[in-house]
Amino acid sequence: MSSCFTLKKSNCKNCYKCIRHCPVKSIRFSGSQAHIIDNECILCGHCFVVCPQNAKQIADETEKVKVLLQSGDPVIVSLAPSFIANYENVGIESMRESLKKLGFADVQETALGATMVKREYERILSEEGRDVVISSCCHSINLLIQKYFPKELDCLADVLSPMQAHCTEIKKKNPKAKTVFIGPCVAKKDEAQMYDGIVDAVLTFEQLTEWLKAENIELKQDVKKDDESLARFFPTTGGILKTMVDASPDYNYIALDGVENCIAALKDIESGKIHNCFIEMSACVGGCIGGPVMEKYHDKPINDYIAVANYAGKKDFNIPQPQNAEMRKTFDIIDTSAMMPSESEIKEILKNMGKFSPAQELNCGSCGYDTCRAKAIAIYQGKAEISMCLPYLKEKAESFSDTIVKNTPNGLFVLNDKLEVQQINSAALKIMNIRSSSDVMGEQVIRILDPAPFMNVQKSGRGVYNQRTYLAEYGRYVEQTIVPDKESRMLICIMRDVTDEESEKEKKEAISRQTVEVADKVVDKQMRIVQEIASLLGETAAETKIALSKLKEFVADE
């Protein structure tokens, strides 16, 4: 089974979409990568269809088929009846003509085998008197019962699938022939491997189309209806029932599609609520025409059904019916059991997930599991990781960011594109003397601050960093940084209160001014003293000069 799917690790983006859509949760996550658990998978292909990154790929056996073609033995195609829905207006004759160009000896419709299968169903219902009979055409449903509802294996019709019945008949007629099934189902690859010697290789419609394109072979649109082709209805929901014209009147006939619906029915059967029923079960919604590898993943259920209905005849194919023993098939139980944790171990895992009480178990399903408890069990079994719990990660991230926001000394608030306050921390409230965040949340920024800087940043798309601003209405100085977040169209404002720094700066400036003033006064006083001294010295010198002159005159007179 592991060879049916491969994984492109580089493409797996940890989105958990595959596990959310997996009906049996058979996907394990390790190292942030998805891994299919082979013994649990039922190969419904949902994970392949829903993967947004095309991380899951279906194994391609084209090269194997080419080797078969080169072997010298005739290689005959069993073509699924859903081909008429995949290849619009291309009948079996055109398909045969084109595929022979690839080297195939012949192309026949799997609907021939479907006719044999439905006849065997009719015989079982009329002759064996079973209580509940479930169709065994869909290998995914067979795997579902073998792995998850083993008690209901007795209800599963022990009959070959149409693919097996047809390929068995081909090899019966030509023992040297090799058979290749082509259809819309990945599970058929596993069925071919599980029951060796019946089908030698399986291709999907898409793989066939790529091969035809590589060989420049075009399919001709040419549909010729054959009235003896009632079994062409098989790939539709209720298609098996439509072909059972000789159905026993002692039974109720029910057609179910979709794994979830089939699981619900199997639970009812298990509980003893259903009796005297023939149940046609298909894993794909709409039947095989809704298969996971219908080319181009087209979702055209009505158009596809009409294409099948218009191509199907009103009578059975005119073919001989094999012996009852030749149509037999055995189904074995496939063990998927895994170790189950104790109640205390589950509670411990839940605590690690941040679930300390039942009220904290959201059961949101974002991880892919229906309940937090189921997720805890998956963690214990190594199928899941704690980090897959998105609410837990969200709360953890928010708690971490909230701790930073709440404890940073800087004021921080966020505005939306309408300049309305979306978030504000306690430091910002303190800076702007706001009592509570509820007073401003959702309000325009103009209520608390000048909107001009925010409008300029919003318009220019360029941030403003460490711009020192005086908030006059609050009497505070701040260093303001406004950063635009283009993706969220938010503006983030960070304020650092520098009021104390400004006050200290003003004090220093005041002291400097006072020092200058004192120095000026000292200089002025000193200058006055000098001038006074100079004045006194000048008067003394003048008086001395007069005295000396008089003394000189006196001496001269003597």
Residues 268 and 122 in one domain: yes
When mean pLDDT is compared across 258-272, 392-406, 470-484, the lowest value belongs to 392-406
pLDDT at residue 2, as a whole number? 46
Give all strands (DSSP E) within 464-514, no chain letters: 464-471, 476-485, 490-497
Task: Supply the mean pLDDT for the chain.
Answer: 89
> What mean pLDDT comes out for the span 442-456?
93
Dihedral of the alpha carbons of 93, 99, 100, 104, in degrees to the nearest 10: -120
Helix 259-270 and helix 139-148, axial crossing angle in degrees, nearest 10: 40
Closest CA to 17 of 52, 68, 45, 42: 52
Tens digit of each residue's pLDDT (9 = 90 or more) over 114-145: 999 999 999 999 999 899 999 999 999 999 99
Domain boundary among 362, 378, 407: 407
> What's the sign of the alpha-carbon dihedral 359, 361, 365, 369?
negative
Residues 65 and 184 in one domain: yes
Residue 503, in any domain of the structure: no
Residues 253 and 147 in one domain: yes
DSSP letters along 442-472, please? TSBGGGTS-SHHHHHHHHH---EEEEEEEET
Residue 502, in any domain of the structure: no
Tens digit of each residue's pLDDT (9 = 90 or more) over 159-183: 999 999 999 999 999 999 999 999 9
Quote the number of domains for the chain.
Answer: 5
Domain boundary among 59, 80, 108: 59
Residue 504, in any domain of the structure: no
Residues 382 and 415 in one domain: no
Cα–chain center distance at 433: 46
Tens digit of each residue's pLDDT (9 = 90 or more) over 189-203: 999 999 999 999 999
CATH number assigned to the domain comprising residue 109: 3.40.50.1780
State pTM to two decimals: 0.73
d(CA 27, CA 12): 13
3-state secondary structure 511-531: HHHHHHHHHHHHHHHHHHHHH
Residues 217 and 348 in one domain: no
Residue 492, in any domain of the structure: yes
Residue 143, in any domain of the structure: yes
Residues 305 and 210 in one domain: yes
Residues 236 and 355 in one domain: no
DSSP letters along 90-159, please? B-HHHHHHHHHHTT-SEEEETHHHHHHHHHHHHHHHHHT--SEEE----HHHHHHHHHH-GGGGGGB--B
Closest CA to 463 of 476, 471, 450, 454: 454
Beta bridge partner(s), residue 156: 134
Residues 104 and 252 in one domain: yes
pLDDT at residue 178, as a whole number? 97
pLDDT above 70: residue 208: yes
Residues 119 and 76 in one domain: yes
Residues 160 and 233 in one domain: yes
Residues 365 and 463 in one domain: no
Residues 280 and 403 in one domain: no
Q: State which residues form the domain around 111.
A: 61-327
